[in-house]
Amino acid sequence: MTRMRTVDAAVLILEKEGATEAFGLPGAAINPFYSAMRAHGGIRHTLARHVEGASHMADGYTRAADGNIGVCIGTSGPAGTDMITGLYAAQADSVPILCITGQAPVAKLHKEDFQAVGIDAIARPLTKMAMTVLEPAQVPGAFQQAFQLMRSGRPGPVLIDLPIDVQMAEIEFDIETYEPLPVVKPAATRAQAAKALDLLTASERPLIVAGGGIINAGASDRLVELAELLGVPVVPTLMGWGAIADDHPLSAGMVGLQTSHRYGNESLLASDFVIGIGNRWANRHTGGLDTYTKGRTFVHIDIEPTQIGRVFAPDYGIVSDAAAALDAMIAVARERATAGALPDYSAWAGDCRARKATLHRKTHFDNVPIKPQRVYEEMNRAFGPDTTYVTTIGLSQIAGAQMLHVFGPRKWINAGQAGPLGWTGPAALGVVRGKPGETVVALSGDYDFQFMIEELAVGAQHKLPYIHVVVNNSYLGLIRQSQRGFEMEAHVSLAFDNINTPHVEGSSANGYGVDHVKVAEGLGCKAIRVERPDDLGAAFAEAGALMAEHQVPVVVEVILERITNISMGVQIDGVNEFEELAASPDDAPTAILSLAKV
């Protein structure tokens, strides 16, 4: 046994648990923890400019890193409350992050001391555990339990709050004999897998809905194997996008009210059986449940027992980790394939491919100012299949999900359920930490970009290169579109005449307000403005070159037309298509990529 401070024990536990990437801001009440990180040297720390930004960096890191858990660190009081949005975003999408806060001394917690707030009570509804550690000897057990909880069952965040006197106290601790607690995940039985396949093979037009649980479980290859064994098309959810590559012959497109494809919705409506694996039946995916469920048999597999039946009652439910369920179904399906006992779904799969070949939205517009659809067409051309996209909310995210293409797991990083504005930039920095050397492209509207724009300086300081595409219409575009139902337009314009930006004759950026190029450059990054659609390809190429040369974030601001309504609706059979649809593949070059292997 060795006598050491509790913070030294905590840092050694982080290293042994593999959580060696931290994002945060030091402060008086957390300085002992920082001194332990400095003393042991096994944890790399990225200094954020805002603690909410640090929490999103930890979130982005975990989503990208495939197994490692991001850590967010802050001092007492407002640092913890700043983390709440980050905890919400992580909890909503089943992402494990560990938030560590400093706290006033134990004896002062009930005295309204400076920056003493009951952060454990505030964070508890948004975490798997939120604990203020009052006894020094409990610190190792608190961190040990935190990692077990974050990894067991449905993943999620944990907050550990450390009073400064608890941090400074000494305890006996032996890191050499420390072992992580066992991770508990439910697993489907063979009988359950057989039952699910019985229901599937009794149908004529089955679909697999692939949720984010498949990506969390590292089971994308097994999903593809099962789909190919059965010959059954796959519909990824927004959180499961990339579990099967967009150009795979059995990838049938996304379904939903907003982040969906026309061909995906039509194939779901034509189906008679759906098996959902690791998904939540989110309302933006299902729309009206009567329409979504009518005439279809449903099997639902999820790691969280209370998810089964939460939105609607399936015909059969299985509580299981996605990887374990897929393994069990693959084993049964192989036996049945060998015995010649699997139906032939090639005609049905062919119907889905035919819809995928024809039902596209038009992207090829030559308008000035630029129409957003053209931006995503050019992004598909410019960025290869190894690109990782990062985004959160708004018309930019919705249109991006309708028109971009994703070719592998953890290549679409999206705060799906919470959708906090400002998440994209700091999350992208975390993704770069989690995917060193890979191409990372963030996508924001101008409002999302402005929310945490100061975090660009983090990318410049720490040499975290990525490309940030900002589609600027100087509007709260999604809110403006939703206000149409109230026959109003209220407080959604961001446009003004910037006294520091001279009027340029013929420029479509006149009167757009914030000069994002100057702000980005002032924060130590590179930036390019694009006003004509034919210049987009060259701008993306230049951004890549600048990123490689300087190793900093590069902003590509695209000046859009002020108003574009993006396809969406309230039922999957009633999505409003505000723009003209593609008459041929020439009008929708994105179709070429998505059909590469068809």
Q: Where are the beta strands (DSSP E) in 218-272?
A: 234-236
Tell me, what's the pLDDT at 337? 94
Q: Please give the distance of CA 557 from its chain centroid, rounded to a whole number.
A: 22
Of 422, 471, 410, residue with least CA distance to 448? 422
DSSP state of 97: E
Cross-strand pairs, 560: 370
Q: What is the pLDDT of residues 234-291, one digit of tens each?
A: 999 999 999 999 999 999 999 999 888 999 999 999 999 999 999 999 988 999 999 9
Tell me if 36 sits within 8 A of 441, measured CB to CB.
Answer: no
Closest listed residue to residue 234, CA positions, set 250, 249, 258: 250
How far apart CA 170 and CA 32 sit, in angstroms, is 12
DSSP string of 426-470, one letter each residue: HHHHHHHHHSTTS-EEEEEEHHHHHHTGGGHHHHHHHT---EEEE
Element holding 269 (H helix, E strand): helix 262-270
Contact assessment for residue 330 and residue 222, using Cβ atoms and an 8 Å cutoff: yes
CA dist., res. 538 & res. 543, Å (int):
9
Q: How far is CA 475 from CA 488, 556, 568, in A?
A: 14, 18, 18
Q: Spell out the domains of the chain, with CATH numbers in brackets.
A: 2-177 (3.40.50.970), 190-358 (3.40.50.1220), 372-566 (3.40.50.970)
pLDDT of amino acid 594:
43
Can you give the pLDDT at residue 567? 78
pLDDT of residue 596: 38
Q: Distances from the Cα of 282 to the Cαs of 263, 289, 455, 490, in angstroms?
A: 19, 11, 31, 29
Q: Which two tokens stand for residue 308?
A: 């089964």
CA-to-CA distance for 494 and 200, rounded, in angstroms?
51
Residues 6+ apart with CB under 8 A from 37: 11, 22, 43, 45
Contact 443, 389 (CB under 8 A): yes
Per-position pLDDT tens, the chain of length 598:
799 999 999 999 999 999 999 999 999 999 999 999 999 989 999 999 999 999 999 999 999 987 899 999 999 989 999 999 999 999 999 999 999 999 999 888 787 777 678 899 999 999 999 999 999 999 999 999 999 999 999 999 999 999 999 999 999 999 999 999 999 999 999 999 999 999 999 999 999 999 999 999 999 999 999 999 999 999 999 999 999 999 999 999 999 998 889 999 999 999 999 999 999 999 889 999 999 999 999 999 999 999 999 999 999 999 999 999 999 999 999 999 999 999 999 999 999 999 999 888 888 888 889 998 899 999 999 999 999 999 988 788 888 999 999 999 999 999 988 778 889 999 999 999 999 999 999 999 988 898 999 999 999 999 999 999 999 887 665 666 767 777 777 676 766 677 788 777 777 777 788 899 999 999 999 999 999 999 999 999 999 999 999 999 999 999 988 777 777 788 888 888 876 777 665 666 554 444 433 3
Q: What integer pLDDT is reported at residue 383 of this predicted model?
A: 94
Q: What are the residues whose beta carbons fall under 8 Å from the beta carbon of 570, sequence distance 6 or more?
A: 257, 287, 288
Of the candidates 340, 336, 321, which has an alpha carbon nearest to the alpha carbon of residue 189? 321
**How does pLDDT run across 173-197, given as a tens digit for each residue?**
999 999 999 999 999 999 999 999 9
Please report how the helices 51-65 and 84-92 are oriented relative to each other, as an axis angle in degrees rounded to 10: 20
Spatial distance between the Cα atoms of 209 and 428, rounded to a whole number of angstroms? 27
Half-sphere exposure of 108 (CA within 13 A, CB side): 15
Among the listed residues 546, 547, 561, 543, the one whose alpha carbon sits nearest the alpha carbon of residue 477: 561
**Tokens coding 25:** 């801001």
Pair of tokens at residue 300: 């639902």
